[in-house]
Amino acid sequence: MTSSPFTLSGRVASLLGSVLIATTLLTGCSSSGQQLESSSDSTGRSSSTMTKERALSLRGDSERKDAEWSEKFTACLARNGVADTGPAKNSDPRAATVSKDCQSEVGDPEPLTPEEQAAVRMLTQLTFECLRKNGANIPDLTPSGDWNDFPVDFDWDQFEVCADGGDQ
C-alpha cells in the first residue's frame, strides 16, 4: 500500500511539529556530563558511551535537516500555487498532484542515522527516568521505543522540568 505524497507531507509536518514542540520544551536543560551506553549498530554487538551533550547535538542536527527538507517541500508547493495545510484540511484539487511532483523534485526526508536514533533513545530514557523519579505515573515505552499515550491528567509542567533528564 502506498500513501500519497501529500499524506507524507502531513506525516512529516506532524513529525516536525512534534519534534519542534519537544525541542521547545527541552531547551535550556543542563548537560552535566550524563552518559549512557548506546548500541552503535542494529546488532547491538558494539556499544559506545554517548554523553548528553552529544545526544543534544545530534538531535539538533537531525531537526535542522528535517526543517531544511520541509522548507524545500513547502517552497515547492508554494511555487506551484498550493498551500501546505495538511492532508485533512487541504481542499485544493491540485494538492495531491503538486505534492507528488514536489516529492519527486525534493526527494524523501533524510532518515535518522543509527547514532541519531541512539541519541533520541538516550534523551527519551533520561526524560522518563526523571519523570518517574519525581513521581509521575507514566506508561512504559513500547518495545520499539515509541511513546505510549500519557494519562489524561498528566502534568505537562513536570515534563518541562524533566525534559532530557532535567537538571540531573
Could you list the pLDDT tens digit for every one of the 168 residues in the chain?
A: 444 444 444 444 444 344 433 433 333 333 334 555 444 444 333 346 899 999 999 999 999 999 999 999 999 999 998 887 666 566 677 888 888 999 999 999 999 999 999 999 999 999 999 999 999 989 888 887 788 888 888 999 999 999 999 886
- Any idea what the Cα angle at residue 140 is, between residues 154 and 40, rounded to 5°? 125
Q: Count the domains in the chain.
A: 1
Q: Which residues have a Cβ under 8 Å from the Cβ of 53 and sit 6 or more positions away?
A: 31, 33
Range of the domain at 85: 5-165
Task: Tell me the whole-structure pTM to 2 decimals.
Answer: 0.63
